[in-house]
Amino acid sequence: MIRRVSDDRPYHHGNLRTALLAAAERGLRERGADELALRDLAREIGVSHAAPRRHFPTRQALLDALAEDGFARLDSVLLTALEGTGGTAAHVRAVMTAYVRFATENAALADLMYTSKHRPGAERLLEAAAAPFGRMRELVLRGQSEGVLRGGDPDRLGMVLIATLQGLASMVNSAIAEPEQLGDLLETAFAQFVL
């Protein structure tokens, strides 16, 4: 059992991919995507500068993985919101609040999730996004069948709903709208969707 440099860390990290994602997520939250450097993460974790390459062949691959994970986290946040008490209308309100809360508390992550980079091979991201979008679609279907939501193609309505929420989060994140307005803005949006 030979140990490396300072005789404390094993040659193989064992969980480098996970460690990288965790460190990257923290860096993303605290300093933004532009400040994320693979070499910084490697130093922070204590591996060589080239080690991350085994798990993320390129910096963009790491950012994509972050975005993918972001959609999974968003999905679980929405799921939690749907577990609350109250009727469908209350659920809609809860989900709306939860979405915007998530997207404003993780502003840089939200940017990554909806970035418009030239990305030909982003199937993984789209699959990850399908989870929260599907969940929202189900809620819309339920709302329509109960008559609390406007009719029409549930896919379209769900998409417009998420778009509105993500747009509102963007306004706050870019400092165009003030965070204090968020409650009122959400209420205005809510009134448009719920009959």
Partner DNA sequence: ACTACATTGTAGTCGCTGTCTACTTTGTAG
Partner DNA sequence: CTACAAAGTAGACAGCGACTACAATGTAGT
Q: Which residues bind DNA (CB under 7 A)?
A: 1-5, 10-14, 16, 36-40, 42, 46-51, 53-55, 57-60
Q: Give dist(CA 34, CA 42) in Å, integer.
A: 16
Indicate whether 159 belongs to the interface with its own copies (CB under 8 A).
Answer: yes
Distance, CA of 108 to chain centre? 9
The residue count for binding its own copies (CB under 8 A) is: 47
What token pair was written down for 45? Answer: 């974790």
Task: Spell out where 45-193 has E strands.
Answer: none
If one asks whether residue 47 binds its own copies (CB under 8 A), the answer comes out as no
Task: Closer to DNA by CB, 5 or 175: give it.
Answer: 5
Q: Rounded to an integer, what distance in angstroms lies between the CA atom of residue 168 and that of residue 24?
A: 25
Residue with tokens 């963007």: 170
How wide is the angle at C-alpha 64 spanned by C-alphas 61 and 70, nearest 5°? 145
Rounded Cα distance, 181 and 124, in Å: 35
State CA 93 to chain mean position distance: 19
36 touches its own copies (CB under 8 A): no
- Site pattern 92..131 for its own copies (x: CB under 8 A): ---------------xx-xx-xxxxxxx--x---x--x--
Partner that binds at residue 160, options its own copies, DNA, none, CB closer than 5 to 8 Å by kind: its own copies
Which of 145, 147, 163, 179 is in the footprint of its own copies by CB under 8 A? 163
Residues of 113-134 as b/e, b for ≥16 C-beta within 10 angstroms?
bbeeeeeeebeebeebbebbbe
Residue 6 contact, options its own copies, DNA, none, Cβ 5-8 Å cut-off depending on partner type: none
Residue 47's binding partner among its own copies, DNA, none (Cβ under 5 to 8 angstroms by kind) is: DNA
Selected from 57, 84, 167, 179, the binder of its own copies by CB under 8 A is 167
What tokens appear for 43 in the block? Answer: 């130093």
> Using CB under 8 A as the criterion, which residues of the chain lie in contact with its own copies when the complex forms?
31-32, 34, 107-108, 110-111, 113-119, 122, 126, 129, 133, 150, 152-153, 156-157, 159-160, 162-168, 170-171, 173-177, 181, 184-185, 188-189, 191-193
